[in-house]
A and B are shown apart, each in its own frame.
Chain A
Amino acid sequence: MKKRAWYALLVLPFIGTLFPQIYNRAEPALFGIPFFYWYQLAWVIVTSLLLGIVVIATRRRDDV
């Protein structure tokens, strides 16, 4: 039952990306790229890492 709690991490990408009011800004820019763009690209990496954590934390014996 405890293992299931890890799945809650997967809610974060939805909150982070589906509310443009959070990130619809030009500043702070990164290498000249407006915040709007690099923020969403950063979420790609964060989502990948979160999934990696959940994959490992919820691994079953039969997952080869």
Chain B
Amino acid sequence: MSSGTIIFALLVIGVTALGFLASRWGNPNLGSLDEWALGGRRFGTLVSWFLLGGDLYTAYTFIAVPALVYGVGALGFFAVPYATIAYPIAFVILSRFWGIAHRRGYLTAADFVRDRFGDRTLEIAVASTGVLAALPYIALQLDGMRAVFAKIGGAFAASDGLLALVVAFVLLAGYTYTSGLRAPAMIAFVKDTLIYVTVIAAITIIPARLGGWAHIFSVSQQTLAARPKADSTLLAPQQYFAYATWAFGSSLSLFIYPHSITSVLAAKSRGVIRRNAALLPIYSLLLGFLALLGFCAIAAGIVTSNSSSVVPTLIDRFFPSWFAGIAQAAIVIGALVPAAIMAIGSANLFSSNIVAGFTASRASGNATLAKRLTLGFCAIALLLVMVVPVQYAIYFQLLGGAWMLQIFPAFVFGMYTRWFHPKALLLGWVCGMTAATAMAAATGFTPNITLHVGGTAITGFLALYALAINLAVAALATLAMRAIRADAGIDMTTEADYA
């Protein structure tokens, strides 16, 4: 066994122990939903910073973004403006949501939608969107872990990393069941520290060994231009719109994913959310440097058809064994944290909004059902990875992102206005979901679609087009519902809840 494998194994065993020990953090009553699923809503600025950072910047992100830059050049850098403007949006929307949720005892976004619009079907629509979008996301975290296990070799690589994956995931399900959100919150400290160490080391060592950035970019430019489908280290003017809409649309959906909402509601105050909106961009800087590693991979002459192996291959090639062990542990632990939070977030939605509807008296609820559902979601995600080819999981995740955006009118606009009619929002949602699915299928599951408007072709982010359709339908249907004076449901929230 190499020194790297030993370090890797020790780190992974260490965080597993931490995950189980987390159940004693603050001596909680873990039978209560607020304690189990939201850590008692007591996390301060520092804990929330690690938790949200560990939650939003997943192992999949860290593998997929450099891989995208490696694959398409400048266009792949959209992740950086995306992870920049997400924060002004989060600052405004989430501090408002935190306040409402705190007063009304919400656990999910669908809780709010039900409370605000009084419509059970809309509640189920919003909740199932979140669950469907989270599942492939969990599966992709698992796939990232599996790629690392396969690379490490030895016992870890048995049956292409599947055996190690199953063991790691059963343990994950175990401590998530036992400790709830406290487990990923505690592990996030280790995860983020390892990620920072790895990225800073990578970004100092690798470019220097490759002859500096100027050289890396000039080689990348030549290599990209020479590919069958030529790309560049700069955007082509016809890519501007796709680049901007891709970044903007993605930033709108980032914080309405169930795992984001779960971490946000675990904060102890509105101030924690506001401060973190200003502090979390540090992770985006990290993501940006990591994206540049995609060019390092091109300059290093790495040629692969499996783009998700780009980062593990770079690590393998440029780091000594012991440090590669740290980097690989960073990726695996980086997958465990968001996977646990996604499972908890989905379980919350399922138990709070699908099995039974939200009621204000549920706030003191029992965690038993959500805990069991977490095990169920872990099992489904594991099954997805074992049975479905990874390419389908990627398609599914992409589609999930487009779907997620379709709850924006009910959830986000709903926080500012009760103008929309609940049935109109539901109709808009149906049209948005259908349009997103149809466009994704038509493009062969690429994020951007080309529309021909009056002889000119415009390529843009399809999720945003679907949202435009969704909003237009919801607005028109609202006017129609008002014209026939249809019953608009009961709004249980009051003006004071939004203060």
| Residue contact B80 to A40, C-beta cutoff 8 Å | yes
Smallest Cβ-Cβ distance to A17: which chain B residue: B81
* A49-64 interface code vs B (CB 8 A; 1 in, 0 out): 0111011000100111
Q: Is B92 an interface residue (CB 8 A)?
A: yes
Chain A nearest CB, measured from B32 CB (Å): 24
In the complex, which residues of chain A have a beta carbon less than 8 angstroms from the beta carbon of B74?
A: 24, 36
| Residue contact A17 to B85, C-beta cutoff 8 Å | yes
Chain B nearest CB, measured from A20 CB (Å): 5
Smallest Cβ-Cβ distance to A33: which chain B residue: B213
Smallest Cβ-Cβ distance to A54: which chain B residue: B91
| Residue contact B235 to A18, C-beta cutoff 8 Å | no
| Residue contact A20 to B243, C-beta cutoff 8 Å | yes
Chain A nearest CB, measured from B103 CB (Å): 12
| Residue contact B281 to A44, C-beta cutoff 8 Å | yes
| Residue contact B281 to A48, C-beta cutoff 8 Å | yes
| Residue contact A51 to B77, C-beta cutoff 8 Å | no
| Residue contact B81 to A32, C-beta cutoff 8 Å | no
Chain A nearest CB, measured from B297 CB (Å): 15
Which one, B88, B274, B292, contacts A13 given CB within 8 A? B88
Given A18-B244, A55-B278, the answer on whether A34 and B234 have CB atoms closer than 8 Å is yes
In the complex, which residues of chain A have a beta carbon less than 8 angstroms from the beta carbon of B237?
A: 21, 24
In the complex, which residues of chain B have a beta carbon less than 8 angstroms from the beta carbon of A36?
A: 74, 77, 233-235
| Residue contact B88 to A63, C-beta cutoff 8 Å | no
Which one, B83, B213, B270, B278, contacts A32 given CB within 8 A? B213
| Residue contact B214 to A13, C-beta cutoff 8 Å | no
| Residue contact A47 to B88, C-beta cutoff 8 Å | yes
Chain A residues touching B, majority SS: helix
Q: Is B377 an interface residue (CB 8 A)?
A: no
Q: How far is the CA of A50 from the CA of B278 in the complex (A)?
A: 8
| Residue contact B270 to A44, C-beta cutoff 8 Å | no
| Residue contact B217 to A55, C-beta cutoff 8 Å | no
| Residue contact B278 to A29, C-beta cutoff 8 Å | no
Kindly identify, within residues 3 to 23 of chain A, every residue whose CB is under 8 Å from any CB belonging to chain B: 7, 10, 13-14, 17-21
| Residue contact A34 to B235, C-beta cutoff 8 Å | no
| Residue contact A25 to B84, C-beta cutoff 8 Å | no
| Residue contact A14 to B85, C-beta cutoff 8 Å | yes
Smallest Cβ-Cβ distance to B75: which chain A residue: A20
Chain A nearest CB, measured from B411 CB (Å): 20
Q: Is A1 an interface residue (CB 8 A)?
A: no
Given A24-B240, A32-B217, A63-B269, the answer on whether A40 and B92 have CB atoms closer than 8 Å is no
Given A14-B88, A51-B87, the answer on whether A64 and B81 have CB atoms closer than 8 Å is no
In the complex, which residues of chain A have a beta carbon less than 8 angstroms from the beta carbon of B289?
A: 41
Q: How far is the CA of A14 from the CA of B245 in the complex (A)?
A: 11
Given A13-B85, A44-B285, A48-B279, the answer on whether A34 and B217 have CB atoms closer than 8 Å is yes
Q: Is B215 an interface residue (CB 8 A)?
A: yes
| Residue contact B77 to A37, C-beta cutoff 8 Å | yes
| Residue contact B83 to A44, C-beta cutoff 8 Å | yes
In the complex, which residues of chain B have a beta carbon less than 8 angstroms from the beta carbon of A54?
A: 91, 278
User: Given known contacts A20-B244, A32-B215, A47-B87, what 13 new A-B pairs fall within 8 Å (CB)?
Assistant: A13-B84, A18-B85, A20-B235, A31-B212, A33-B292, A36-B235, A40-B77, A40-B84, A41-B285, A41-B288, A48-B281, A51-B277, A55-B278
A residues sitting closer than 8 Å to B (CB atoms) are 7, 10, 13-14, 17-21, 24-26, 29, 31-34, 36-37, 40-41, 43-45, 47-48, 50-52, 54-55, 59, 62-64
15 A-B pairs within 8 Å (CB atoms) are namely A13-B84, A14-B85, A18-B81, A18-B244, A21-B240, A24-B234, A24-B240, A26-B233, A31-B212, A36-B77, A40-B80, A40-B81, A51-B88, A51-B281, A64-B269
Q: When A and B form their complex, which 9 residue pairs have the shortest distance between CB atoms, in order from nearest? A: A32-B214, A32-B213, A63-B271, A51-B278, A17-B81, A10-B88, A48-B281, A52-B278, A18-B244
